[in-house]
Chains A and B, each alone.
Chain A
């Protein structure tokens, strides 16, 4: 068991190193930051001076090694665009993205479970069929279009909800939250729906198919035969057994929620890390791009690792399977 954990952690570190290399090297092709950092009146001498100052004239492996050394210290350098430490920027922007991801995850989970149960129980009902078909609309339009349509309807035409930003935020230590003000909560609604719609459809379908699977099992039939109410069967027995895979999938989806926040944040001018990343790409702000990718990969690899280890802890059969596969 310990050997497996060590091997798995070791593999994760390798994965992170590779991701770091990929992230760092690939973005070198995106463009030249120097040009943007100097104004309209720059001369060739300014350009050369700046390249040397940033270390961009160094050979590539030297640049990568420096990047890794600093990253290990939690230092991702200075943003070319804002002239501030990247770590500070990420910490400053993280609450916005995490709160958005949290609310949209919640929305996806709650909506997905409720609708999934309903469509499973009323399998042949017209409403269930309608929900199944309608939910596909959410995954058949690109996210940015859904966001813009929501802004158009609810902000411009109806004027009910704000079209951009986080509203008023309250500062608690280094964390800024939009949960404590009315405008902050209102501002969360449209972006959360935009971001969560896709995951909601996914979870709903998952819950539905798991429910259908479970409802066919013998013990459910026995429960019914014993005269338990439909409600007790559905919620007491069936639902409980569908939740494990649902929660696993939701956990794994958390990362992609944060990644897809890039688009939602761009549409809604949501001041999170996704918007920071997109700005960095447009400005060729390499330190910010590299740090963001590292952050995302640490998160993903971390989640993957935890899920894997949990599985092994829970289900010894998997351990045997893995051992066999690794032979």
Chain B
């Protein structure tokens, strides 16, 4: 027993020595962990967040969501419209001391185009990457690609030599269940270096003393300790009790409590994500309704009535506690193509909606099932519940089926839901991304998230033309035309744009990034 106590005391003493209590350590918590450190293996938000600390990209979205130079200092299309040229930053070194050169860029982008990469879709238009000299790279595309730069902001650059030495020339075959050296080790050029990694439990990073931007960025943080905490109440408790310094995703009901707590502050900004409902408008009959042989959603008047029945302001005030921006279009305001007119919120008018329902022949209403995730968006289940009540007021009896995202999303892709909730973020900040996935008829290359069965060949042709239209004015005009149709047909019922809430110690000065991507090199401590 005595020996045990001694051992315990020794352990404590050793720890006290090992962990210098430093104000510059940032203890950070979020709901989910990075899935893998291999930066090309998963195209997923929390995974990118971790990768962004250790690895860097050619171009970077800063804390305001603006594209700024990172490993590339200048970029422009060449005289050949199928070629973009990137000038690389000189004097950059990887964490292991290797020099950063054009060959690393060529290697990394080609690595990201391999079949096992989860990032390959973003480079689908790229046919080749060529090193012109040590600090110049050209990207060749199949046909002109006017928005190529915005596709590069999550494409991380690895060291070719390190990758080859450790046998990770190919991305981890994540789905095939492959574990490679790159999954738990990382060697980037980023502002932080990996110290320790225990997936789903703890990740430790330390400041990179040789980072190229050490004069440009504050780099106040010397060490980052990241812990994923899934349970929202526990996460908030950890912040309130001072066990962590910074959390992403504060539940809206706890904003007041965090704000009122001594030494804590909540920072808020609109997120690049819109929440909406989709309906099966294409099938001849619905599986989950009580009307035989007819699909009520196929009638645009029913869709319009539903759009009118949703009281977006009540959802904002009560369910979201003011932390949302009611939407009239399924496009976040950051996106090219967005106009205030498109996003004008439809007025709530239950009487008129009822009249429309009667006109469409559904005066007695009908019943249908609403599928909803319960762990994906802010208060997703509560929003769906509120919508159930609002639909009830115009006679649509909605049964709610809420479940984890892993079980919800397959329903949309598999055409197994007639009425569903979905949220959409637009990493390219361009309407084309929305059309490709949500509006175009579902097929091999397009419409994989279009669960509405909506199909309009004319619109499809217009959407496909966007990819290679170099005349940006003409392209924008086409985008506007497509939005007109989408709005007129009421294919989706927009609810709101999400608002991000980051909770932190008030000594921390850190703006909210619209894609929920904290880049800690920008973080400063108030002196």
Decide if B200 touches A275 in the complex (CB within 8 Å): yes
Contact for A83 among B41, B122, B409, B425, CB less than 8 A:
B41
CB-CB under 8 A for A164 and B8, given A31-B407, A35-B406, A38-B175: no
> Can you name the residue of chain A whose Cβ is closest to the Cβ of B244?
A164
Decide if B200 touches A53 in the complex (CB within 8 Å): no
Complex CA gap A39/B41 in Å reads 10
> Can you name the residue of chain B whose Cβ is closest to the Cβ of A158?
B241
Residues of chain B with a CB closer than 8 A to A79's CB: 177
Residues of chain A with a CB closer than 8 A to B449's CB: 40
Decide if B243 touches A164 in the complex (CB within 8 Å): yes
Contact for B177 among A44, A77, A182, A276, CB less than 8 A:
A77
B229-267 contacts to A, CB under 8 A, are 229-231, 233-235, 237-238, 240-243
CB-CB under 8 A for A78 and B375, given A42-B448, A47-B413, A151-B233: no
B134-187 contacts to A, CB under 8 A, are 172, 174-179, 183
Decide if A78 touches B178 in the complex (CB within 8 Å): yes
Decide if A181 touches B231 in the complex (CB within 8 Å): no
Contact for B175 among A53, A180, A183, CB less than 8 A:
A53
Decide if B444 touches A82 in the complex (CB within 8 Å): no
Chain A 267-286, CB within 8 Å of chain B: the 1/0 string? 11101000110010011100
A150 to chain B, nearest CB (A): 10
CB-CB under 8 A for A84 and B43, given A43-B445, A44-B444, A179-B8: no
Residues of chain A with a CB closer than 8 A to B448's CB: 41-44
The answer to whether the Cβ of B12 comes within 8 Å of any Cβ in the partner chain is yes
Decide if A39 touches B230 in the complex (CB within 8 Å): no
CB-CB under 8 A for A53 and B176, given A39-B118, A267-B231: yes
Residue from A45, A164, A181, A287 with most neighbouring chain B CB atoms (10 Å): A164
The binding surface of chain B is classed by DSSP as loop
The answer to whether the Cβ of A36 comes within 8 Å of any Cβ in the partner chain is yes
A20 to chain B, nearest CB (A): 20
The answer to whether the Cβ of A255 comes within 8 Å of any Cβ in the partner chain is no
Complex CA gap A142/B375 in Å reads 22
Decide if B199 touches A82 in the complex (CB within 8 Å): yes
CB-CB under 8 A for A268 and B407, given A83-B172, A83-B183, A156-B241: no
CB-CB under 8 A for A43 and B35, given A163-B234, A279-B200: no
Residue from B175, B200, B235, B413 with most neighbouring chain A CB atoms (10 Å): B175
Residues of chain B with a CB closer than 8 A to A162's CB: 241, 243
Decide if A40 touches B43 in the complex (CB within 8 Å): yes
Contact for B12 among A156, A182, A269, CB less than 8 A:
A182
Residues of chain B with a CB closer than 8 A to A151's CB: 233-234, 237
Residue from A41, A47, A82, A275 with most neighbouring chain B CB atoms (10 Å): A41
Residues of chain A with a CB closer than 8 A to B452's CB: none
Complex CA gap A63/B482 in Å reads 46
CB-CB under 8 A for A170 and B437, given A164-B234, A284-B406: no
Chain A 169-183, CB within 8 Å of chain B: the 1/0 string? 010000000011111
B281 to chain A, nearest CB (A): 20
A319 to chain B, nearest CB (A): 41
Decide if A38 touches B118 in the complex (CB within 8 Å): yes
> Can you name the residue of chain A whose Cβ is closest to the Cβ of B436?
A41
Complex CA gap A84/B183 in Å reads 9
The answer to whether the Cβ of A92 comes within 8 Å of any Cβ in the partner chain is yes
Decide if A32 touches B229 in the complex (CB within 8 Å): no
Residues of chain A with a CB closer than 8 A to B17's CB: none
Decide if B175 touches A35 in the complex (CB within 8 Å): no
Chain A 33-58, CB within 8 Å of chain B: the 1/0 string? 11111111111110100100110000
Decide if A276 touches B200 in the complex (CB within 8 Å): yes
Complex CA gap A148/B199 in Å reads 24
Residues of chain A with a CB closer than 8 A to B183's CB: 83-84
> Can you name the residue of chain A whose Cβ is closest to the Cβ of B257?
A156
Decide if A41 touches B175 in the complex (CB within 8 Å): no
Decide if A282 touches B375 in the complex (CB within 8 Å): yes
Residues of chain B with a CB closer than 8 A to A78's CB: 176-179
Which 9 A-B pairs rank lowest in CB-CB distance, beginning with the nearest? A78-B177, A180-B11, A39-B43, A271-B201, A31-B407, A35-B410, A41-B121, A163-B237, A32-B410
Taking A34-B175, A282-B406 as known contacts, 20 extra A-B pairs with beta carbons closer than 8 A to each other, sorted by chain A number, are: A31-B407, A41-B122, A79-B177, A80-B175, A81-B35, A83-B41, A83-B183, A152-B237, A155-B241, A156-B240, A159-B242, A163-B237, A164-B229, A164-B234, A165-B229, A179-B8, A267-B234, A271-B202, A275-B230, A284-B407
Please list the residues of chain B having a beta carbon within 8 angstroms of any beta carbon in chain A.
7-8, 11-12, 15, 19, 35-36, 41-44, 118, 121-122, 172, 174-179, 183, 198-202, 227-231, 233-235, 237-238, 240-243, 375, 404-407, 409-410, 413-414, 425, 437, 443-445, 448-449
Please list the residues of chain A having a beta carbon within 8 angstroms of any beta carbon in chain B.
30-45, 47, 50, 53-54, 77-85, 92, 148, 151-152, 155-156, 159, 162-165, 168, 170, 179-183, 185, 266-269, 271, 275-276, 279, 282-284, 287
